[in-house]
Amino acid sequence: MHAGLFIEMATDLSLNSRSVPFQTPNEVINSDEFWQISRDKLEHWTKTLSMFSEDLSNPSRNHNPWAAISYVIEEILCSEFFVRIAAATCVNKDREFDMNMNAPIGRSVLLFHLEARLRALEIINEGLKTDIPEAIHLNELRNRLERWCDLLLAFFPTDVSSEFSIEPKRCQEFNRDFSEETASSMRNFERMLRISIREYGRKLIQRPAANPTLNRRTAELFSFIGQFSSSEIETHAPFQTNQVSDLTNDAERWIQDYMTIG
């Protein structure tokens, strides 16, 4: 499984944070397994990025490691995106039931991802110094995911979203914008947001996955997300292909405009 699918999963998790799986005071997921999977991913990422750092610092190498680097860093960025939303979900669950069952694992797993994020950003910055195309692409991905993450976190209570947002002030502005929207306009906004994020994530999954097995195990832990209502648009129907393509383009422009204003 490619980590790009985590983008769509995070969107459904955010927009449905008060749905059926959260109506009883229990664990959101198996916390021990989530912790172990995340630790395994961190170990893989750390070893791989260390190897890449050696390659980049050794001018005698006669190969370009950037293609492989980009697959790993994409996974780190997409995984962090998902884990921030998952951690917010865990904290929000405990907040609603006045308990401390899910928040510790959410915060602990996020720390793993933040460690990997720092290593990834160091490599991206090195590539940006010499205008490496892969580094430019990764930086664009980072910027997009960070803004989307703050946008999705704005659906949570402010005390939860501020803890896990990239830029708390930006997240608060999104939250304030939401409060001024009507119920109808918010439904339209959520629909367009789903389409935009889903299609972007599906472009990413056309690339190789760095740790497909661990990604799949993470997705299986959150399999309850599949109970949520999906997008109203069914992309598999041939006669709807052009309509979906047009709607996706409209959604992309609409979301970009909204986020720029925010």
- In the numeric block, the tokens 């170990």 are attached to 43
Tell me, what's the pLDDT at 205? 84
State the pLDDT confidence band at 226, using cuts at 50, 70 and 90: confident
Cβ-contact 146, 167 below 8 angstroms: yes
State the pLDDT confidence band at 125, using cuts at 50, 70 and 90: very high
Tell me, what's the pLDDT at 163? 93
Share the mean pLDDT of the chain.
83
Residue type, 203: K
Determine the average pLDDT of the residues in 224-234: 62
Sign of the dihedral defined by the CA atoms of residues 18, 148, 251, 194, in that order: negative
Tell me, what's the pLDDT at 64? 77
CA distance 66 to 52: 8
Tell me, what's the pLDDT at 242? 38
Q: For the chain, how many residues are written? A: 262
Tell me, what's the pLDDT at 26? 79
> pLDDT digit string (tens) for 172-207?
999 888 888 888 888 888 888 888 888 888 888 888
Cβ-contact 3, 79 below 8 angstroms: yes
pTM here is 0.84
Q: What is the DSSP string of the chain?
A: --TTHHHHHHHHHHHTTTSGGGSSSS-SS-HHHHHHHHHHHHHHHHHHHHHHHHHHH-TT--S--HHHHHHHHHHHHHHHHHHHHHHHHHHHHHHHHT--SSHHHHHHHHHHHHHHHHHHHHHHHHHHHTT-HHHHHHHHHHHHHHHHHHHHHTTS-HHHHHHH-SSHHHHHHHHHHHHTS-HHHHHHHHHHHHHHHHHHHHHHTTSPPSSHHHHHHHHHHTGGGGGS---S--TT-GGGHHHHHHHHHHHHHHHHHHHHH-
